[in-house]
Amino acid sequence: MFENLTARLQDIFKRLRGKGKLSEKDIEEALREIRQALLEADAHYKVVKELLNNVKIKALQEEVLRSVTPSEQILRILYYELLNILGGGKSDINLGDRKPGLVFLVGLQGSGKTTTAAKLAYKLLQEQRRVLLVGADTFRPAAGKQLQILGEKVKVPVYIDGKTPEEIIDGAIKVALEKLSDVLIVDTTGRLHIDDEMMEELNRLNEKYKPSEILLVVDGMTGQDAVNIAERFNEKLPLTGVILTKLDGDARGGAALSIKAVTGKPIKFIGVGEKIEDLEYFYPDRLASRILGMGDLASLVEKIERNIELEKMAKLEEKIKKSKFDLEDFYLQLKELKKIGTFEQILDMLPYIPKNKINIELSEREIKKFIAIIESMTPDERRNPSIINSSRKQRIAKGSGTTVQDVNRLLKQYFQTLDLIKQINKGKKSIFPFLR
């Protein structure tokens, strides 16, 4: 997410730090480069103009120019201005007092609306909500079937019985009341483009059912088009928020920077991957930190706590403290790492890592290779890696579909990790602070 933009901004601030004291000319030149970087990220030009005007006014104040660290002061100003246009704080989903609460998902075909309905159902299920998915998209023939398949995957019931959206939603409300479901997520009709027929239907449904939330699902990869689509939907419907999908792909990030400023409606969720759990609440402060290369440790810790089996990790920490860390433990560490997300997603949350200079694809491939190599070892080899000689390496490589060089790389990585553990044990520090 935002790799190119983050790399550009980090480079700009690195050069500013190298200058020490800054002149007005230095600041104006840096702001021109930031403007170019934001526009290339597909941010709305009016949003960029307002953002940088505010930054310029504050950056040229005497206390900033005379500061010991003017570049850090400007970074701080830019962070708070980004936070302002992104919407300040997290916006929770609002179901009101109505039972069941109705959440309408609206949007164009291809935005990921149906998949997002299932992801949102899964997320609310984790929050102890009783969810019913409703397939009210009668325009696309496969929409109901797709929702049923996704519903089975997330273990959430799906209602699609009826010929019209009204028949389907009426039936779903009746079932929800019988089964005490407290929230209905309605996948509404979609089109390839905005047309009067779709908007008339959505307005008719809104008038009849008065949903608690009308969330627009837009594809983050479409950049400026996503902002235009959000603006047009917002003109026709009383939207309550936006879900931005596909921010894990080649999205340049401009939509996330612009939607709130252009529509006045908050981004409530972002899609950050293809897995069913890859829908996150949108935290403007965390995104602003990521954009500026300051990382997002809060989200990383949440991912760790949600995906890693903490009991296993606590046992592993005890073994580490006793310096009994073997290849079986290294294997566990690699498997748990994969649960958190891709290597790229993890790097994205770490502060001040030059992601554009790291071969992420190689790192992902290496982890998969290492897991395959350890799986090809005997229990004795895992527990006592020092017995792995040349002939054993050849057998392991053949069994795992890798090379002897790959096996050597794994062993080198393991012994480096072992040395690091010994150093940490000397300092008496916890390996996994999130266990505390």
**CATH for 14:** 1.20.120.140
pLDDT over 50 (residue 296): no
User: 294, 314, 331 — which closes off a domain?
Assistant: 294
Question: Residue 120, exposed/middle/buried by CB under 10 A (0-12, 13-18, 19+)?
Answer: buried
Whether residues 112 and 48 fall in one domain: no
* pLDDT at position 297: 46
Whether residues 114 and 262 fall in one domain: yes
* pLDDT at position 111: 87
pLDDT over 80 (residue 165): yes
User: 20, 53, 86 — which closes off a domain?
Assistant: 86
**Per mean pLDDT, which of 41-45, 92-96, 164-168 is the most reliable?**
164-168
Stretch among 39-48, 106-115, 278-287, 319-328 having the lowest mean pLDDT: 319-328
pLDDT over 60 (residue 419): yes
* Percent of the chain clearing pLDDT 70 (strictly above): 81
Residue 13 belongs to domain spanning: 3-86
The Cα 392–Cα 406 span in angstroms is 13
Q: Can you give the CATH number for the domain in which 236 is found?
A: 3.40.50.300
User: 263, 294, 325 — which closes off a domain?
Assistant: 294
Stretch among 151-155, 178-182, 258-262, 348-352 having the lowest mean pLDDT: 348-352
* 374 part of a folded domain: yes
Whether residues 170 and 276 fall in one domain: yes
* Residue 188 · residue 137 · CB < 8 Å: yes
Whether residues 250 and 375 fall in one domain: no
Stretch among 36-50, 288-302, 318-332 having the lowest mean pLDDT: 288-302
* pLDDT at position 116: 95
Q: Give me the mean pLDDT over the 37-52 stretch.
A: 89
pLDDT over 70 (residue 295): no
Whether residues 148 and 224 fall in one domain: yes
Whether residues 203 and 235 fall in one domain: yes
Q: What single-letter amino acid sits at 116?
A: T
* pLDDT at position 183: 95
How does strand 183-187 pair with strand 213-219?
A: unpaired
Whether residues 361 and 408 fall in one domain: yes
| Other Cβ atoms closer than 10 A to 238 | 11
* 92 part of a folded domain: no
Stretch among 30-39, 56-65, 180-189, 311-320 having the lowest mean pLDDT: 311-320
Q: Can you give the CATH number for the domain in which 423 is found?
A: 1.10.260.30
User: Average pLDDT, whole number, for the chain?
Assistant: 82
* 94 part of a folded domain: no
Higher local confidence (pLDDT), 374 or 326: 374
pLDDT over 50 (residue 435): no
* pLDDT at position 114: 93
* pLDDT at position 275: 86
* pLDDT at position 337: 64
| Other Cβ atoms closer than 10 A to 46 | 11
pLDDT over 80 (residue 339): no
Whether residues 255 and 401 fall in one domain: no
* pLDDT at position 41: 85
* 260 part of a folded domain: yes
* 96 part of a folded domain: no
Number of independent structural domains in the chain = 3
* 107 part of a folded domain: yes
pLDDT band at 118 (very low <50, low <70, confident <90, very high): very high
Stretch among 336-340, 355-359, 414-418 having the lowest mean pLDDT: 355-359
Whether residues 281 and 311 fall in one domain: no
* pLDDT at position 69: 78
* pLDDT at position 255: 79
* pLDDT at position 434: 35
* 95 part of a folded domain: no
* Residue 262 · residue 236 · CB < 8 Å: no
**Smallest Cα–Cα separation from 144: which of 164, 161, 120?**
161
Give the pLDDT confidence of 373-412 residue by residue, as tens digits. Answer: 999 999 999 989 989 999 999 999 999 999 999 999 889 8
Whether residues 306 and 191 fall in one domain: no
Whether residues 184 and 276 fall in one domain: yes
Question: Residue 253, exposed/middle/buried by CB under 10 A (0-12, 13-18, 19+)?
Answer: buried
Q: What single-letter amino acid sits at 282?
A: F
**Smallest Cα–Cα separation from 178: which of 159, 165, 163?**
159
Whether residues 263 and 385 fall in one domain: no
* 91 part of a folded domain: no
pLDDT over 90 (residue 186): yes
How does strand 267-271 pair with strand 241-245?
A: parallel
